[in-house]
Chains A and B, each alone.
Chain A
Amino acid sequence: MSDAKAEVKSQQKISAKAWDENAVPRHRIQWCPGCGDFGVLAALKMALTKLEVTPHELLMVGGIGCSGQIRNYLNGNAFHGTHGGALAYALGAKMANPDLKVITLAGDGDTFAIGVENFVHVCRRDPEVMLIIMDNGVYGLTKGQHSPTYGRGMDITEWSEESPPPFSPLRLAMTAGCTFVAQSFSGDPKHSAEIYAEAMQHRGFAMVNDFSPCVTYNKFNTYDWYKERVEEIPAGHNTSDLNAAWELLNDFDRREKLPLGVVYRNPRRKKAAKRLPIWTEDLQKANVAPLFQMFR
């Protein structure tokens, strides 16, 4: 960080309140009372405050849906993406300005249905971007249609073409090469805040799947349903061991529990690489006369 930037930062009072400035009450919160996204908002404020991030350093890219609204309720730079496109915007912004701390805030429908191609390939590209998925199993903003994570804990019906079973965001992330895979529960914002803070410090793409119940349209996966099933990952879990991560997921599935915490964290070793020579410099030194002679 440059000296000038450090000075700006020291002048700003870093407090949880700073995140409310310019955000509340200019934007009246539109979530339903009891929405899981309130827990995510609280946890995110805690994490940002803990890491002493300042609003001007932050870019929040929101997806479409109730979840994407969260960027309106926090101070800082914000961008509203297209449906499924939030991660692509985040990737572009991070490439153009690596100094930005980029957080993508999207829902499960946004990330795993219409935006699944962005999700998979951002996992591969591994930019220093954090993604929080507010996973409620439904498209809440349009009155509760089922998303790809709907049906958690339900029996699979024979009508699977119409009502396919849910898939695991964590397993998809690991398969696609995500280097930070974690899960949190908005009913426990303090724990979520710790996970978010770790994700924000990860040197690569960090995905946190947050169970954020939709109290209006998902009457099955409720707070109580999650409370009975979530379980923190044991302290001894080796997060850098991919096999251990898969085994952990299998173990939780067998016990019909849902892991909370960091499942896998393993920053990639990236080899230094140089691009092609710059025409104006390196190439001018080259002797191209023999090459031209060949074609005469």
Chain B
Amino acid sequence: MAQVIESAQKETESLISGSEAIAVACKLADVDVITAYPIRPYDTVMQYVAKLVANGELDCEYIVAESEHSQFEIVKHASAAGARVFCGSSGVGWMYAFEALTVTPALRIPMVAMVGNRALDDPGAFGVEHNDALAVRDLGWMLVWVDNAQEALDTALIAYRVAEDRKVFLPCAIGCDGAFLTHSQILVKIPPQEWVSAFLPPYNRGDLLLHPDNPITIAPQVNEDWLMELRKQNDEAMKRAQKLIPQVYKEFTGIFNRNYGNPFFEEYQTEDADVVLLGMGTMSMPVKVAIRQMRKEGKKVGFIRLRWFRPFPAEELAETLGRFKAVGVVDRDYSFGSPNFTGVLATEIRAALYPAAKRPPVLNFICGLGGREVTVPDVKRMSEMLLKQASGEKQPIVTWVGIRE
């Protein structure tokens, strides 16, 4: 299928936000059931979905549920009955749904959810932190972070394609930084329906369909007799997802003529870089600006933006990171009491590097919590520390950047 489809229909361009791009993806994917419960910044998706439904552009069941918990339970079972579903939340709303979130991958439900990343209040904060989505990282959810509205739309279509593959059948959450992405508009290329239909076949639940003609039991009590085997099945599904993702991106490029390169992570000015910063989401913007400025001063700094956090591209990433003299992991999250008191991503990167032949020193920067901006001076400060580390001047393992001391 790896070819641009000859079509009378053309791409259109539209100035839309990250949230609207996700809603448009729901329309293109012809989602059957959408549930929602208002919480900022996720509620922006709700308003665009509601608008599409009200205008007759999207034919789906759209339910404003009574809480995030019921919201996720409704779509979970709609998916079991064969409906393509979309759901999502933010911050504590996502946490309120946690019981439903834990059982969704266990029941092999290919739900696609959008997490409008938001700090976990109290104390109240609407801004971005990644701890909400990261809370499900061990449970069988695929997790992917995007950094602009175009990528949000494309990744939502890719997420359905990967999640609904019979070899995978796992849910996928798309991390969209609150405000910086959910509310920011860019010109987005919206593909014609024909292309999407060619890329994304109808959801087929096969022998797992909950239907009177196919009497099965979902979520029985299995105890120690079967639970371990079922967990292993989830583990295998995640491994298969890791193999499938590059294939799906390739097909995507063939049809949509947009090439994301390595699907798992984006490399920026890394060819000749001495040191690299590594992070997820919209921090890529200030980091890239700072790198361009520093390059003019002859400082060889690069950036790696990780897209897929689950499945985690450990081997590939470790091999790439081995090329540099030092790596700075920028965490927009925290993990209190973790090894060396680093953020979540830093711990993962260090674990990925351990078996590698070349292991560069890893510094960790905790930055941009609660929606605080990751600024160009912040990035320069982090890069200077990395360059010092690379030249043999030892730096602390963890630094909180942009914090009032």
| Residues in chain A within 8 A of chain B (CB atoms) | 80, 82-84, 109, 113-114, 116, 139, 141-143, 145-146, 148, 161-162
Contacts and interface: CB of A to CB of B under 8 A. Distances in A.
Closest 6 CB pairs of A and B: A142-B38, A114-B67, A142-B43, A113-B66, A139-B38, A145-B38
Interface string B346-359: 00000000000000
Contacts of B66: 113-114, 116, 148
A146 B64 contact: yes
Nearest to B60: A162
29 contacts: A80-B124, A82-B122, A83-B39, A83-B67, A83-B92, A83-B93, A83-B96, A84-B67, A113-B66, A113-B67, A114-B37, A114-B67, A114-B68, A114-B96, A116-B66, A139-B43, A141-B38, A142-B39, A142-B43, A142-B46, A143-B38, A143-B47, A145-B38, A145-B43, A145-B46, A145-B64, A146-B64, A148-B66, A161-B63
Nearest to B123: A80
Contacts of B43: 139, 142-143, 145
B98 interface: no
B98 to A, nearest CB: 13
Given A80-B122, A80-B124, A83-B92, A142 B67 contact: no
Nearest to A159: B61
A162 B40 contact: no
Contact of A162 (B61, B93, B124): B61
B36 A142 contact: no
Contacts of A116: 66
Contacts of A142: 38-40, 43, 46
B400 interface: no
Contacts of B93: 83
A116 B67 CA distance: 10
A114 B72 CA distance: 13
A109 B38 CA distance: 10
Interface in B63-99: 63-64, 66-68, 92-93, 96
Given A143-B43, A145-B46, 15 more contacts: A82-B92, A82-B122, A83-B39, A109-B38, A114-B37, A114-B68, A114-B96, A139-B43, A142-B38, A142-B39, A142-B43, A142-B46, A148-B66, A162-B61, A162-B62
Nearest to B61: A162
Nearest to A139: B38
Interface of B: 36-40, 43, 46-47, 50, 61-64, 66-68, 92-93, 96, 122, 124
From DSSP, what is the main secondary structure of chain B's interface residues? mixed
A79 to B, nearest CB: 10
A137 to B, nearest CB: 12
Contacts of A161: 61, 63
Nearest to A112: B66
B279 to A, nearest CB: 29
Contacts of B96: 83, 114
Nearest to B124: A80
A135 to B, nearest CB: 16
Contacts of B63: 161-162
A84 B69 CA distance: 12
Contacts of B39: 83, 142
B40 A145 contact: no
A143 to B, nearest CB: 6
A113 B93 CA distance: 13
Contacts of B68: 114
A41 B105 CA distance: 46
A5 B38 CA distance: 43
Contacts of B124: 80
Q: Which of B36, B61, B66 has the largest count of A CB atoms less than 10 A from its CB?
A: B66
A130 B92 CA distance: 26
Contacts of B37: 113-114
A165 B224 CA distance: 45
Contacts of A146: 64
B93 to A, nearest CB: 8
Contacts of A139: 38, 43
A141 B61 CA distance: 24
B58 to A, nearest CB: 13
Given A83-B96, A116-B66, A145 B61 contact: no
A84 B122 CA distance: 14
Nearest to A109: B38
A161 B93 CA distance: 22
Contacts of B122: 80, 82
Contacts of B40: 141-142
A142 B46 CA distance: 10
Contacts of B50: 145
Contacts of A84: 67
Contacts of A148: 66
Nearest to A81: B122
B53 to A, nearest CB: 9
Nearest to A147: B64
Contacts of A80: 122, 124
A105 B62 CA distance: 30
A139 B66 CA distance: 12
